[in-house]
Amino acid sequence: MTAQELRRMYVEFFKERGHKEIASASLLPDNDPTVLFTTAGMHPLVPYLLGEKHPLGSRLADVQKCLRTCDIDEVGDDTHLTFFEMLGNWSLGDYFKEEAISLSYAFLTTKLQISVSRIAVTVFKGDEEIPRDEEAARVWKEMGLKEEQIFYYGRDENWWGPAGQTGPCGPDTEIFYDTGKEPCGKDCSPSCSCGKYVEIWNNVFMQYSKEADGSYKPLPRKNVDTGMGLERALTILNGKDNVYETDLFIPVMDELKALSRVAYSEATKRTFRIICEHTRAMTFLLGDPKRITPSNTEQGYILRRLIRRAIRLLQKLGLKQNVLCELASIILTQYQEVYPELKENRSFVLEQLEKEYELFQKTLDSGLKKADHYLSLLQKDDILSGELAFKLYDTFGFPVEFTMELAKEKGIRVDTPGFEEKLKEHQNKSRKGAEGKFKGGLADNSQQTARLHTATHLLHGALRKVLGDSAYQRGSNITSERLRFDFSFERKLTPEELYEITALVNQAIAESIPVLCEEMTPERAKKEGAIGIFDNKYGERVKVYSIPGCSKEICGGPHAANTGELGHFEIVKEEASSAGVRRIKAVLTEGPNLTQL
């Protein structure tokens, strides 16, 4: 089975059962400060999971692009990826456990022809606060699963949320494929990592609200959030042990083999896999409608890390010239029919990869000089400390393999265990930080966040009035304390421009303009001048929020009802975000509080 066959089979199955198809959103989430990237299919649906009405109704299905980096160091094995696609179906206050489980079971057994004997599931076992999920277990038994195919786990395994201290949460039921391998022992189960069980689908049942006092109350409107990993499902359906042997990776893998003229073997397969996986991820990041570029912070840092790691490994294969563009071209051609933004941004992707390759060569030259300096301070048979080797790697971007080669030429050894220890410390710190940053979840939906969200619309409109239509939103990040707004523009704004933008926003607030919401087709929204990325992102109907005289945008909320609720708008910083992109940070205060810009 091909990836496209699986995508269409999944979406068509749910469309036949009353679901509306929604297109994949950007890899850069809107207004969710908890994540750098869209790490799950639920991110674009946050406002609707929190209660807003979706323009396409209460039953939805999609294939969502996702990117996670918390396991980046494990990429190259049989299972871990940074970029992946998530198949999802959603019930927004419509069906619940029984129908959700029945739909999952029907798709697996009738469409994918997976034997019921190959299915194992986990359900929430309950605790002192929430009872055992007997309903989910009952439905699975009614579907035909035996008691020994159902496993019960606690909150670590079978509970979702809330994202913060309070909010929607609930149990989940995870679906595993039994590979048929021999059990690792008498306690072998989906919770162990022996490889017998592979998770392929997760159904989350949002049925409780955690209150400020720590208690749980049933939600009046229950939601279902499901996700099935395309890559894992495709691997299983094709009888493979890893995704690199499916049509998702075969074209780029074959190109890399041809370019490198290196045999794919046990000794080289991890290098091949990382290069191909990272190339796919970087291509989708650069080809995203919001167009991020390599940088030293946040999303741009992750992108740069992926690119430079791939370059280092290409050089390890003996490829001294830049072949990233050849590899990325394979990905662009392969996916452009599924994700049209890749076709539209093809030249941008290739230009950025060429620029970053040239920049990295300069970084390597700088690292080489620093490495030569450190080694010149030592004598033959001396040892370069692991700390210095790690400094060359972490601070100067100089690969440790290069350091070891230079040292060997001078008869100097490198304290590789010391380097590994420092690297492990760094990875553990990064992983802990990533777990906090990438854990995902529902964004804050407080009244203050709604005000700041509305303020971004006023800011966007003011920017375009002062700077022209070339000032276009490239991303935003909103917490309950401040807003951050990225927009396309080539230079630093002048104090006069910032003053005029601020004045326009505060004038709109002073006029107490109603914030209007209307559902319409994307074609009508475009005709009426609404701002939005008019590609395959939108379905048959969209929500358009209008602030007459100031702004008209396609958006999902949350919003204030009137601009007069916002308070006083104040820009606290304007800076570069990446090449051709500026960033404004702003706050709302209770009254006028002029700031020196």
DSSP letter at 117? G
The torsion angle over the Cα atoms of residues 390, 395, 396 and 397, rounded to 10 degrees, is 70
Give the Cα separation of 580 and 577 in Å (integer). 8
Unique residue bearing structure tokens 């960033």: 583
Residues 293, 301: Cα–Cα separation, whole Å: 9
Pairwise CA distance, residues 541 & 518, whole Å: 10
- Cis amide bond preceding 548, omega within 30: no
Tokens standing for 137?
Answer: 């277990």
Give the closest residue to 172 by CA, choosing from 154, 189, 187, 188: 154
Is there a cis peptide before residue 162, judged by omega within 30 degrees of 0?
yes
Pairing mode of beta strands 150-153, 197-210: unpaired
Residue 198 one-letter amino acid: V
Is omega for the bond preceding 417 within 30 degrees of 0, making it cis?
Answer: no
Strand, helix or coil at 528?
coil
Q: How far apart are CA 326 and CA 12, in angstroms?
A: 34
Q: Report residue 388: phi and psi, to 5°.
A: -70, -40
Residue 320 has φ and ψ, to the nearest 5°, of -85, -25
- Residue 67: helix, strand or coil by DSSP? strand
Q: For the chain, give the number of residues.
A: 597
Tell me which DSSP letter residue 594 carries. Answer: -
The 10s digit of each residue's pLDDT in 184-197 is 888 899 988 888 99
The answer to whether residues 367 and 398 touch, using CB atoms and an 8 Å cutoff, is yes
3-class secondary-structure state, position 9: helix
DSSP 562: B
Q: With helix as H, strand as E and coil as C, how does 419-476 read? A: HHHHHHHHHHHHHHHHHHHHCCCCCCCCHHHHHHHHHHHHHHHHHHHHHCCCCCEEEE
With CA atoms as reference, report the closest residue to 67 among 437, 346, 343, 356.
Answer: 437
CA–CA gap between residue 118 and residue 179 (Å, rounded): 7
Whole-number Å distance between alpha carbons of 281 and 84: 8
Question: Any idea which residue has 């419509």 for tokens?
Answer: 94
**What would the pLDDT profile of 224-256 be if each residue is shown by its tens digit?**
999 999 999 999 999 998 999 999 999 999 999
Tokens of 339: 């994700």
Determine the pLDDT at residue 138.
96
pLDDT at 434: 44
Residue pair 369/337 in contact by the 8 Å Cβ criterion: no
For residue 3, the SS3 value is helix
Q: What are phi and psi for residue 70, nearest 5 degrees?
A: -65, -20
Q: For residue 201, give both structure tokens.
A: 């689908």
**Residue at token pair 């998702």:** 248
What residue spans of 20-133 are helical by DSSP H? 46-49, 97-106
Q: What is the pLDDT along the chain (597 residues), one digit of tens a residue?
A: 999 999 999 999 999 999 999 989 899 887 566 678 888 888 788 778 877 888 899 999 999 999 998 878 889 998 889 999 999 999 999 999 999 999 999 999 999 999 999 999 999 999 999 999 999 999 999 999 999 999 999 999 999 887 556 778 899 999 999 998 888 888 899 988 888 999 999 999 999 888 888 899 998 889 999 999 999 999 999 999 899 999 999 999 999 999 999 999 999 999 999 999 999 999 999 999 888 888 877 788 889 889 988 998 898 899 988 999 999 999 999 999 999 999 999 999 999 999 999 988 888 888 888 888 999 999 988 999 999 999 888 777 787 877 887 898 889 999 999 998 988 887 676 655 444 433 333 445 567 778 888 999 999 999 999 999 888 888 788 877 888 898 989 899 999 999 999 999 999 999 999 888 888 888 888 888 888 754 445 557 788 888 988 989 888 767 888 899 898 999 999 998 877 889 999 999 875 433 333
CA 18 from centre of chain: 28
With CA atoms as reference, report the closest residue to 306 among 337, 269, 275, 261. 275
Q: Which residue has the tokens 């051609």?
A: 333
